[in-house]
Amino acid sequence: MDSWTDTAFTRVLDIELPIVLGPMGGASSVELVATVSNAGGLGSYGAYGLSGERILSVAAGIRELTEEPFSLNIWIPRDGGDDYQPDEEEFARHLAPLAGWFEELGVPLPTRPERLLPGHDEQVEAVLEARPAAMSFVFGAPDPGILDRARELGITTMGTASTVAEARFLEEQGVDVIVASGLEAGGHRVAFIKPVEESLIGNLALIPQVADAVDIPVVAAGGIADGRGVAAAMTLGADAVQLGTAFLATDESAASAPHRAMLWSEEAETTTLTRAFSGRLARGIPNAMSRAADAGELPIAPFPLQGWLLGKLKAAAIEQGRTDLFSLWAGQSASLLRHHDATDLIRALVEDAGNRLP
């Protein structure tokens, strides 16, 4: 194998390629995870919103398709938002602005659930029981005791940083690998030390600064979709790269057909940051719902209620091809997409990067 593929990251995970599948909550599939892992990279499954039982089922499904290392990703609770539970009056107030769309799509109005998200402890215990090769986190670092337990089980821990300060913090907490996530990345911006608006750093600046600031492997994420991006990230000091949008657009992903079609369209050349679909800032292709929310015409419920409410609309919106009414997560690299098949994408990344790196 070419020398550029032999890095601190590939040695820690005992894999062949410094290529990581972005853990796309809601659009992850066991098939895509296994495809990336079988090709020599690190497949990752975003477990956001999954119960402990479902996490164990997903891990078992991945192991039916691959014997290679893979990662499971969960979110760290922050600002008490993950435990937020509206009362009946508050629930009704936040549902009211969406009632017209429920009626338009023929979806009954939902009733208030007992809980909006599975408990964090439940998810952690399931991931530890599943014992993937890696356990990754966004929105901060887990309790040190969790990191200790993961280490005892031989699980590599990966924390996501939007700034140098966050990278240093994660290393100090004992995380094994830093994922440096630039503002170009699709999906949620995962800043946790300063407000997210003060933590929007592009990878050209972020990668070398994080590489200089920490002594553990660094994975570059955001805006990477071809071999040029891989070579650039590695040259800037990354030990591996993480791709989301490029894999999201492949046939193996669990993204809906309308979503994938939008990624291949000219509309994906423009992405914006919005709180419209979850209550937290995230990057995607703008549509009628995000524009209305960003203009202040559509009130946004607190996280995670906003995502829960719109999740009740999503299936019907997808079935009816209403791309104006559900999230179209995408990074700033969508116009670089060339491959519908994940295996072909990985081959192209390796060949092109190999021609540019020693």
Each residue's pLDDT tens digit, 102-113: 999 999 999 999
User: What total of structural domains would you count in the chain?
Assistant: 1
CA distance 191 to 161: 7
Question: According to the model, what pLDDT value does residue 79 have?
Answer: 74
- Domain residues for the domain of 234 are 3-356
Question: According to the model, what pLDDT value does residue 357 have?
Answer: 95
Q: Closest Cα partner for 217 from 264, 278, 156?
A: 156
Question: Region 236-252: what's the mean pLDDT?
Answer: 98
Work out the pLDDT band at 83, boundaries 50, 70, 90.
confident
- Of 74-83, 110-119, 121-130, least confident by mean pLDDT is 74-83
The residue type at 277: F
Question: Region 234-240: what's the mean pLDDT?
Answer: 98
Question: According to the model, what pLDDT value does residue 294 have?
Answer: 95
Work out the pLDDT band at 80, boundaries 50, 70, 90.
low
Task: Tell me the CATH number at 171.
Answer: 3.20.20.70
Question: According to the model, what pLDDT value does residue 2 have?
Answer: 59
The CB density around residue 283, as the number of other CB atoms within 10 Å, is: 22
Question: Region 223-238: what's the mean pLDDT?
Answer: 98
- Of 70-84, 104-118, 283-297, least confident by mean pLDDT is 70-84
Question: Region 283-304: what's the mean pLDDT?
Answer: 96
Q: Return the ∠ at Cα 21 (arms to 358 and 221), rounded to 5°.
A: 65
Q: Return the ∠ at Cα 185 (arms to 334 and 22), rounded to 5°.
A: 90
Work out the pLDDT band at 81, boundaries 50, 70, 90.
low
What percent of the chain is modeled with pLDDT above 70? 99
Question: Region 176-197: what's the mean pLDDT?
Answer: 98
Q: Closest Cα partner for 59 from 24, 28, 82, 22?
A: 28
Q: Please state, in angstroms and as integers, the Cα–Cα distance from residue 251 to each residue in 28, 113, 132, following that order.
A: 12, 33, 24
Q: Which residues pair with 243 in a beta bridge?
A: 21
Beta strand 156-161 pairing with 177-181: parallel
Question: According to the model, what pLDDT value does residue 78 have?
Answer: 86
Judged on CB neighbours under 10 Å (0-12, 13-18, 19+), 158 is: buried
Question: Region 320-332: what's the mean pLDDT?
Answer: 98
CA distance 241 to 219: 5
Residue 1 has pLDDT above 60, yes or no: no
Beta strand 70-75 pairing with 134-138: parallel
Whether the bond into 304 is cis, omega within 30 of 0: yes
Crossing angle (nearest 10°) for helices 342-356 and 30-38 = 40
Work out the pLDDT band at 358, boundaries 50, 70, 90.
confident
Work out the pLDDT band at 4, boundaries 50, 70, 90.
very high
Residues 192, 166 contacting (CB under 8 angstroms): yes
Residue 258 has pLDDT above 60, yes or no: yes
Question: Region 295-309: what's the mean pLDDT?
Answer: 96
Q: Please state, in angstroms and as integers, the Cα–Cα distance from residue 43 to each residue in 21, 28, 100, following that order.
A: 5, 10, 40
- Give the CA radius of gyration of the chain: 19
Residues 288, 323 contacting (CB under 8 angstroms): no
Tell me, letter by letter, the H, E, C secondary structure of 150-206.
HHHCCCEEEEEECCHHHHHHHHHHCCCEEEEECCCCCEECCCCCCCHHHCCCCHHHH
